[in-house]
Structure 1
Amino acid sequence: MGDVPRGPVSSSRETAQNRDLFAVELMGLKRRGCCVLVTGSVSERVRAAQSRRLFGESDTSRQRILIFTEQASSPTAQYLPDGIPSTHPSVRILDYTDLVADMAGDISSSQQSLADVDPDTPESMTGLCVLLCDPVCDAVPSDSLPPGELRLGITTLGTLVETDGLSATRAFVRSIRSDILAANGMGHFHFPDDPDPELLAALDPVIDIHIELRQSDDVPEHRWHLLGTEHSTGWLRL
């Protein structure tokens, strides 16, 4: 399956049993529904490659929702699997780049730094999160779907964190997560930078999988962590 990491899990000392346990845990998350945080200071090309895997292969039945919250430097189709254009009936595109840019400019003077936000702060959405939450949630099918059929991706949470803060961003993800899980789906959210510990702590309650991205000698790689477990992979070629 295109979204499951291929290759050995962790180092050569890990046993086949550990690899099997990782695969079983991952498949369980996919059946129940889950949310994925994708981080790393890499190019948009690498982030898009990870999205293509998470959106599922073109020959599988999927409902794909791609949400732009920043101006893409490449065509929409780069985030979608090969053979799945943006006009494909399985695809819905929500483009909020202009809204996000306008709002970010209006409220940049009041932005919160990551270090100023307590991860345990009570949640309430503000600013951009309020404007985006309802239309994004409305795009998610209200009926339960076969496990893993719904795939939703948001190109970046970065601007939401910068303008609204961590507490509001967590509330935003939590609201979307509720609808994704009700549909037995998988959602992924990019944070296109190396995350601060505060961000990971704040989003931990609403994220099931953390995928790290990097480029090693110009080769894109990813590393998966199943949160709440001891299961992780080593760095694998993307």
Structure 2
Amino acid sequence: MPAPDEQSDVESFERPEASFARTLERLKREGCSVLVCGTVAAEIRAKMTRQLFGSTEMYRRRILGHTGTTALDPDAYLPAEPPSDRHAVVVSRAGPVRASDTSGVVDVARAVSEYHPSGGSGGSLDELDALGTALAGAVDEVADRDHLSPGVLRVGVTSLEPYLDADGVEEVVRFVRTVAAPVHEDGGMLHVHVPLSHDDARVRALLPYFDARIDLRVHEPLPPECRWYLPAIDEQTTWMRL
């Protein structure tokens, strides 16, 4: 099975079953949430996020929730093109929101909202609430300004594992609902990284609150691979090169 280009959109994944294809297309039109799991390096997760955000050749509005749990800069999760072409907003736990051209022409450096962390290394309930509120606010403002069509909005969160450890599944579910509601309303796609195995008890507890799951793996010396799973129809793709 040929590998999709790194900056291809989700459309490029081969989907052998018609029911899988129909369900995924419907989710893309109506808005959806995707749980990304797998015990792989942060660089591989960043590559998955870049793929889900899509190339700058596609009309997209991108919002990244950067939890600061790895050494990777937010830029690692965004398309490689110059910031002026990305149409991206970054909400970071390391400081206030920064924007890298949210409009293309007007308000190039405008921040959509502010996120003030409570301090520490991550995982506090105050931080999780603040991050969820800031992301939901960013979605609302981008949608109000740009009048988004279905499939245009892409929102990603780099890792929620520290919050799972500190606050538990219930609080993470509350965060997901807070962010997913406006994303779904505007026909967007939210993806959230939880770098745990797909059969981890916490991943299984979270899955009912997502429309799809992406599993990531590395079997050396082979390149990283991914597969999609749709719980509503209990179908998944074969493993594909990332």
Q: Aligned residue for 1:42?
A: 40
Post-superposition shift, 1:160? 1.2
Tell me if 1:95 matches 2:92.
Answer: yes
Change (3 A) 1:233 1:82: same
Change (3 A) 1:47 1:100: farther
Q: TM-score, normalised by structure 2?
A: 0.78
Structure 2 gap ranges (5+):
1-7, 96-116
**Structure 1 residue ranges (4+ consecutive) displaced by more than 6 angstroms after TM superposition:** none
Q: Aligned residue for 1:182?
A: 185
Distance in 2 (CA, whole Å) between partners of 1:81 and 1:182 is 25
Distance in 2 (CA, whole Å) between partners of 1:7 and 1:224 is 10
Q: Aligned residue for 1:221?
A: 225
Larger RCO (alpha carbons 8 Å, 6+ apart): 1
Structure 1 gap ranges (5+):
10-17, 108-125
Aligned-pair Cα RMSD in Å: 2.2
Q: Aligned residue for 2:29?
A: 31
Distance in 2 (CA, whole Å) between partners of 1:5 and 1:226 is 17
Q: What are the within-5 Å matches in structure 2 for residues 101-112 of structure 1?
A: 102=120, 104=122
Change (3 A) 1:87 1:68: farther
Aligned length: 209
Post-superposition shift, 1:210? 0.4
Change (3 A) 1:74 1:201: closer
Q: Secondary structure at the match of 1:200?
A: helix
Deviates more, 1:189-198 or 1:152-161: 189-198
Tell me if 1:132 matches 2:131.
Answer: yes
Distance in 2 (CA, whole Å) between partners of 1:171 and 1:28 is 24
Distance in 1 (CA, whole Å) between partners of 2:70 and 2:121 is 18
Change (3 A) 1:203 1:36: same
Q: Which amino acid aligns with 1:152?
A: V
Change (3 A) 1:197 1:129: same
Change (3 A) 1:230 1:182: same
Contact residue 69 and residue 122 of structure 2 kept, 8 A: no
Q: Aligned residue for 1:162?
A: 165
Q: Deviations over 1:168-215 (max 9, x none)?
A: 110110111111101110010001122454323432332001000001
